[in-house]
Amino acid sequence: MKVLAIDPGYGRCGVAVLEKNGGGKEILLYSACIETSAHNQFADRLSQVANECVRLIREYSPDCIALEKLYFQTNQKTAMRVAEVRGALINTAQGAGIEIFEYTPGEVKSAAAGHGSADKKAVARMLHALIKIEKEITHDDEYDAIAIAVTHLSRARTT
């Protein structure tokens, strides 16, 4: 089972492709932080993120897509713009016939680090223990995407 996990954003968007084969550790096939320029219009930034995800779908043929969903945030305008990115990704996944799963930040932290209030460092440490990561991770957004992927695979295991 291969999952493309996305931590949606229009400035920075974490993406990760994680594979689970039989009983072994999950293997990280790809991770990155898609970055867009604040000089570009929002619609351009949104489509840059969506197009990169289309490219990843073509390259890795994931069985499903896992997204972080966030309903409440202090900056409502930012939350709406992130929701717009999420919508573009949901539609992209639908167009490719790939099932979408959504997880809240609390669910992701619980699955990746054992409790819903874990900090970023604790999550990163646990991810290195849980899965095979052979590359250097430079962005928090990459870790976030990997954590979403781990969340999905752990759910898929038990349900």
Q: Is 58 in the site for a second copy (CB under 8 A)?
A: no
Q: Which of 22, 37, 38, 71 binds a second copy (CB under 8 A)?
A: 71
Q: Is residue 135 close enough to count as binding a second copy by CB under 8 A?
A: no
141 is catalytic: yes
User: At residue 106, what are phi and psi to the nearest 5 degrees?
Assistant: -65, -45
Q: Does 84 bind a second copy (CB under 8 A)?
A: yes
User: Following DSSP, what letter does each residue of 89-136 receive, concatenated?
Assistant: HHHHHHHTT-EEEEE-HHHHHHHHHSSTT--HHHHHHHHHHHSB--S-
Of 32-40, 78-86, 108-116, 136-144, the window that binds a second copy (rule: CB under 8 A) is: 78-86
Stretch that binds a second copy, among 25-33, 74-82, 107-115, 142-150 (CB under 8 A): 74-82
| Ranges within 25-54 binding a second copy (CB under 8 A) | 42-44, 46-47, 50
52: DSSP letter:
H
Q: How far is the CB of 42 from a second copy (least distance, A)?
A: 8
Determine which one of 19, 107, 141, 142 is catalytic. 141
Q: Is 68 labeled as catalytic in the residue annotation?
A: yes
Q: Which residues contact 16 (CB under 8 A, 6 or more apart)?
A: 4, 5, 28, 30, 31, 32, 142, 145, 146, 148, 149
CB 150 within 8 A of CB 18: yes
**In the complex with a second copy, which residue's Cβ is closer, 43 or 116?**
43
User: Which residues are near a second copy by CB under 8 A?
Assistant: 42-44, 46-47, 50, 71-72, 76-77, 79-81, 83-88, 90-95, 100
Q: Which residues are catalytic?
A: 7, 68, 141
